[in-house]
Amino acid sequence: MQTHNLGYPRIGSKRELKKACESYWSGKINLHELQTVGESIRLQNWKTQQEEGIDLIPSNDFSFYDQVLDMSLMLGAIPDRFHEVILQKGNNEMDLYFAMARGYQQNGLDITAMEMTKWFDTNYHYIVPEFRKDQQFKLFSTKVILEYKEAKQAGFSTKPVLIGPVSYLLLGKEKEEGFDRIDLIKNILPVYLELLKKLDAAHVEWIQFDEPFLAMDLGEKEKRALQFAYAEIKKAFPSLKIILANYFDCFGENLETALSLPVHTLHLDLVRCSSQLDDILESGKLGGQKHLSLGLVDGRNIWKNDYQKSNETIQKAVSAIGKDRLFIAPSCSLIHSPIDLDLETDEKSLSSEIKNWLSFAKQKLREVADLKELTNEKLKKNQEAIQSRNSSPLIHKPAVKKRVQTISDSHDHRLSPFSVRQVKQKEALKLPLFPTTTIGSFPQTAEVRSWRSKFKKGSLSQKAYEDFLKEETKKAISWQENIGLDVLVHGEFERNDMVEYFGEQLEGFVFTKTGWVQSYGSRCVKPPIIYGDVSRQKSMTVDWTAFGQSLTSKFVKGMLTGPVTILQWSFVRNDQPRSETCLQIALAIRDEVTDLEKAGIRIIQIDEPAIREGLPLRKSEWQQYLNWAVRAFRISSSGVKNETQIHTHMCYSEFNDIIQHIADMDADVITIECSRSQMELLDAFREFNYPNEIGPGVYDIHSPRVPSKQEMVDLLEKAMKLIPETQLWVNPDCGLKTRGWDETKKALTEMVSAAQEMREVITSPIA
């Protein structure tokens, strides 16, 4: 048996990549300094994997922003609007790359960024490729070749990792009508073959093609495209050893297609789908040559591997096909895991008892190596840790379990239907047409982060810290009033992260100091760990929200994170159904919602940006998930009066196929990301005739560019063609935490002006 890894975190153990990219964007460091940081991270990653016992180490799993964007640049799939960037004096390939991800607004150019959406059912976001009917591809970047040679020169023989041609096309979007992007397979394959030719010339022996769409529902056309592509690759490079990686679910209905492909090794995610090894062995179609990669170590969660269970699976495979045809691996790339548990040295933050149950990326490498050669001593130590967790009194709280069991139908319905609530809310709130608001957070400046850091380190008193936060909140409220926003927010200056902040105040959660995971680009999150039953001991947001409301006669929204998003964006216990944990969280949020209402807060936003992210990859399994996910949201939001307006927020998701379930959530107002797609996402709401109110985002907060008033007016006019003006709100795409104050003030001022212009158009005598 051999070991291999599908990919390793690229942010650096101290988030070196984040800091370097942001310094490059701000002009503090040059291209050479940025590239030096990248080289250092890659070298350390290869060294770590070798030292931890990985036989086949990946290369080209590093990215300065996103691996899908890397492929777009390599394949020359660069939208026409970006061609001017590379012609600008002083710009380079990296500036083009970042412009595609973030937009470009300088030197007389104003270019919108490419779309961004979720990577399957994870909280990682990728940059969506754009395709046209006559799309041509050409080899533009040779990053994969350069990094393979770089590794080789450093003494590491690696397997380059590429997104497979079929999955790459399916990850993209048609930007004009009249064609199916999968039909571009014949256009794109020659560039893949050109890349492989260069890799072959560099003496590459192994290559990993990621085809995660094999875990999705594929039609016959997509299956034929897979067979065509890999037959052509095999014909051109008969001796190349290809590992075809599928992850996040079974092959399912695609199993026969996968088994027919002329590849050396099939990778199986046996964490998400433990049954597929039996399916393959029982099919009798594996043949006598094809190898299997057993993805036994969970790349998506942080719990220790159960060596006994994994070893049983390994022995079953050994008995069927022998050791020589097996690889041991993580279930998927480890970019979804924190980097190194050894860095967690604060006993107050993470107790030694709970730490003993955990495994981060570096430790998962060791688990893979242990499973290759499992000794009695390793097995005994592992089973002691597994048993310690199973029997720990920290995990189970009878009162919490009892409360979940007593949830009734009345808990998940508002007092009256929306048509009744809307009338009462309009009377109570008296908001204008096109009411303006933001999604919640305002910029977390270096000063805000510095004060929080000092407070957490104990070098700043609680009173001094709270006085500072109050001043920031006062300034934010005053500024919002001055520019004319209709519904205000307190700014969330006291919060570190929209999930972490709540987890810190709930029972059943624990936190790390260094457990960062990449969400998109330079944005990293530190997911909480849900280790036990969840409950709320006291109010979490009431004091700060009420303080904000005391400063103004306008309405200030209560800002909460919803139960599904808290679940999805945490590392979740795996000893009970996720639905059970979600209901526990929903009850905690319900308590907070009712406390906010008692404190006089009349508008409460419960963000659920992750609700679509949680969908199983196969549609046949959607209904069960949506039933409990929608129910959890309704339980959290339904304990209030008709006059209290409930908002929710979703971003970077396609809604067409779950629009009925979004309606079933029964939020009074939903705000959604729409600006990057130029309001395309609203089509789903029009065709469905969505009954409640909608705030389609008119300002892309993931790009540093500032949109003009006219740009936002144009977007709102598009929205009015799809949604009645009486249902429309005006807001950014998402929270403003990661933006700077200068661009935020300019953009929101333009947004308020756009809303005012729309009101004049609607109410003018000519109209």
Cα(723)–Cα(685) distance, rounded to whole angstroms?
A: 8
| 666 is known to lie in a ligand binding site | no
DSSP 263-325: -SEEEEETTT-TTHHHHHHHHT-STTT-EEEEEEE-SS--BPP-HHHHHHHHHHHHHHH-GGG
- Listed in order, strand segments (DSSP E) in 682-742 are 693-696
Give 142's contacts (C-beta < 8 A, 6+ positions apart).
74, 195, 198
The DSSP-derived string for 152-167 is HHTT--EEEEEE-HHH
Reference 340, options 512, 151, 496; nearest CA is: 512
Query: What mean pLDDT comes out for the span 476-485?
Result: 96
Question: Is 529 in contact with 512 (CB distance < 8 Å)?
Answer: yes
Whole-structure pTM value? 0.90
- Asked if 64 and 141 touch (Cβ cutoff 8 Å), the reply is no
pLDDT tier at 576, thresholds 50, 70, 90: very high
649 labeled binding residue: yes
Helix (H) / strand (E) element for 599: namely none
The DSSP-derived string for 456-525 is HHTSS-HHHHHHHHHHHHHHHHHHHHHHT-SEE--B-TT-S-TTHHHHTTEEEEE--SS--EEEETTEEE
607 is in an annotated binding site: yes
523 annotated as ligand-binding: yes
- Whether the pLDDT of residue 128 is over 70: the answer is yes
Within this chain, domains 2-9+56-63+72-77+115-390 and 398-667 share the same CATH topology: yes
CATH number of 2-9+56-63+72-77+115-390: 3.20.20.210
Going by C-beta distance under 8 Å and a sequence separation of 6 or more, which residues neighbour residue 324? 1
Q: How is residue 337 annotated by DSSP?
A: S
Indicate the burial class of 236 (C-beta count within 10 angstroms; 0-12, 13-18, 19 or more).
middle
Band (676; pLDDT cuts 50, 70, 90): low
> What are the residue boundaries of the structural domains of the chain, listed by start?
2-9+56-63+72-77+115-390, 398-667
Residue found under tokens 């129910």: 631
Rg, the chain, Cα only: 26
3-state secondary structure of 336: helix
Mean pLDDT of 619-636: 95
Q: How far is CA 298 from CA 251, 268, 619, 638, in A?
A: 18, 12, 23, 36
Over residues 184-194, the pLDDT tens digits come to 999 999 999 99
Q: What pLDDT score was predicted for residue 765? A: 55
**Rounded Cα gap, residues 683 and 446, in angstroms:** 39
Whether residue 267 is annotated as binding a ligand: the answer is no
pLDDT at 417 over 90: yes
With a cut of 80, say whether residue 490 has pLDDT above it: yes
* Average pLDDT value for the chain: 94
602 annotated as belonging to a binding site for a ligand: no
Percent of the chain residues past pLDDT 90, beyond the cut: 82
What does the DSSP 8-state code read for residue 66?
-
Place of tokens 């964006």: 569
- Is residue 132 a known part of a binding site? no
The span from the CA of 135 to the CA of 188, in Å, is 9
* 492 appears as a binding residue in the annotation: yes
| 346 annotated ligand binder | no
Answer for the pair 6, 298: CB distance below 8 angstroms, yes or no: no
Buried/exposed 612-622: b ≥16 CB within 10 Å, e otherwise? bbbbbbeeeeb
Interior angle at CA 660, CA 657 and CA 666, nearest 5: 135
Q: Summarize pLDDT for 69-117 with one digit per residue, the tens.
A: 999 999 999 999 999 988 787 789 999 999 999 999 888 889 999 999 8
Closest CA to 660 of 636, 626, 637: 626
Give 53's Cβ-side CA count (13 Å radius).
20
**Residue 535: HSE in the Cβ half-sphere, 13 Å Cα cutoff:** 12
Q: For residues 569 and 563, what is the distance between their CA atoms, to the nearest angstrom?
A: 10
- Residue partners of 24: CB distance under 8 A and separation at least 6: 30, 31, 33, 34, 94
Q: Is 176 annotated for ligand binding? A: no
Q: For the purposes of burial, counting CB atoms within 10 Å of the CB of 151, is it exposed (0-12), middle (13-18) or buried (19 or more)?
A: buried
- Give me 716's structure tokens: 């709102």
Q: State yes or no: 439 annotated in a binding site.
A: yes
CATH class label, 398-667: alpha beta
pLDDT of residue 767: 44
Please say whether the beta carbons of 686 and 728 come within 8 A.
no
Task: Give the pLDDT of residue 764.
Answer: 67
Does the annotation flag 95 for ligand binding? no
Distance CA(451)–CA(152), nearest Å, equals: 45
Residues carrying an active site annotation: 702
Confirm or deny that 359 is annotated as ligand binding: no
Q: Tell me how far apart the alpha carbons of residues 306 and 310 are, in angstroms, rounded to a whole number.
A: 6
| Helix, strand, or coil (residue 249) | coil
Alpha helix stretches (DSSP H) within 75-218: 83-87, 93-102, 143-153, 165-171, 185-201
d(CA 330, CA 267): 10
Phi, psi of 694, deg, nearest 5 = -135, 135
Q: What is the pLDDT of residues 374-411, one digit of tens each?
A: 999 999 999 999 999 999 999 999 999 999 999 998 89
228-254 pLDDT tens trace: 999 999 999 999 999 999 999 999 999
Average pLDDT over residues 106-131: 92
The dihedral built from the CA positions of residue 392, 398, 402 and 403, taken in this order, carries a sign that is negative
The answer to whether 657 is a known ligand-binding residue is no
Structure tokens at 234: 């095999």
DSSP state of 653: -
Q: Any idea which residue has 């350069």 for tokens?
A: 146
- Could you read off the pLDDT of 55-72 as tens digits, one per residue? 999 999 999 999 999 999
451-463, pLDDT tens digit by residue? 988 998 889 999 9
Extract the tokens encoding 751.
Answer: 């947004």
Give me the phi and psi of 159, to 5 degrees please: -110, 115
Q: What mean pLDDT comes out for the span 647-675?
A: 83
Q: How far apart are CA 667 and CA 630, in angstroms?
A: 11
User: Residue 569 annotated as binding?
Assistant: yes
Please state, in angstroms and rounded to a whole number, the distance separating the CA atoms of residues 696 and 672.
5
273 is in an annotated binding site: no
Helix (H/G/I), strand (E/B), else coil: 259: helix
Please give the average per-residue pLDDT across 465-490, as a whole number.
96
Q: Give how far Cα 496 sits from Cα of 61, 444, 452, 649, Å.
A: 29, 9, 9, 19
Those residues whose C-beta lies under 8 Å from the C-beta of residue 146, and which sit 6 or more positions away, are none
Degrees to nearest 5, angle at CA 282 with 281 and 286: 45
Q: What is the pLDDT of residue 550?
A: 97
